């Protein structure tokens, strides 16, 4: 009687272990499928952007009006920005903002009469966020402040 109960419990334990192993494998497969579907959805959203860029490139090869090409590229950039927004992302707008190492990557410092020291003066490469998560920091030039005034020529003549 005790051996029969032991064998029954052992069989239940083995079945539970097998069920758990199958659950773990199925969860991993489901996670991979969800990632794959997510990538498909993003690429599907971006396809119109790429289509329009190809049209612009083809149109540019014909030597057509450069103003029309530039307007088309601006429209494609707007379409890309709208697509990023629909996907829950946004482009960072760092110029004029205080430098924040959490979302900005300083590439250089520049003198700027327009921006105080520590303020982003130039965006070199755009940064993007998806919700609260940073996808890529904005590469920026940070202001050192106003340039030092140039010495006047009167000071040079007095020095001699």
pLDDT above 90 (res 38): no
My answer on whether 24 and 78 are in the same domain is: yes
pLDDT above 70 (res 108): yes
| Number of domains the chain contains | 2
Please check whether residue 125 is in contact with residue 95, taking contact to mean a CB–CB distance below 8 angstroms.
no
CATH number assigned to the domain comprising residue 19: 3.90.20.20
Average pLDDT over residues 28-52: 89
Residue with tokens 């924040």: 100
pLDDT in tens, 2-19: 899 999 999 999 999 999
Q: How confident is the model at residue 153 (pLDDT cuts 50, 70, 90)?
A: low
Domain range for 36 is 1-87
pTM of structure: 0.66
My answer on whether 7 and 31 are in the same domain is: yes
Name the residue among 83, 76, 110 with its Cα closest to residue 95: 110
């Amino acid at each position: 009687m005790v051996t029969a109960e032991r064998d029954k419990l052992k069989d239940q334990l083995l079945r539970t272990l097998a069920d758990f192993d199958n659950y773990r494998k199925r969860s991993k497969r489901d996670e991979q499928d969800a990632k794959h579907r997510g990538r498909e959805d993003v690429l599907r959203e971006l396809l119109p952007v790429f289509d329009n860029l190809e049209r612009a490139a083809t149109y540019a090869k014909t030597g057509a009006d450069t103003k029309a090409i530039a307007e088309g590229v601006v429209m494609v950039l707007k379409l890309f920005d709208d697509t990023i927004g629909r996907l829950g992302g946004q482009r960072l707008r760092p110029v004029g903002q205080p430098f924040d190492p959490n979302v900005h990557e300083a590439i250089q410092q520049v003198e700027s009469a327009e921006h105080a020291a520590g303020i982003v003066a130039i965006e070199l490469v755009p940064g993007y966020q998806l919700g609260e998560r940073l996808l890529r920091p904005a590469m920026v030039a940070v202001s050192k402040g106003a340039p030092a005034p140039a010495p006047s020529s009167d000071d040079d003549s007095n020095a001699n």
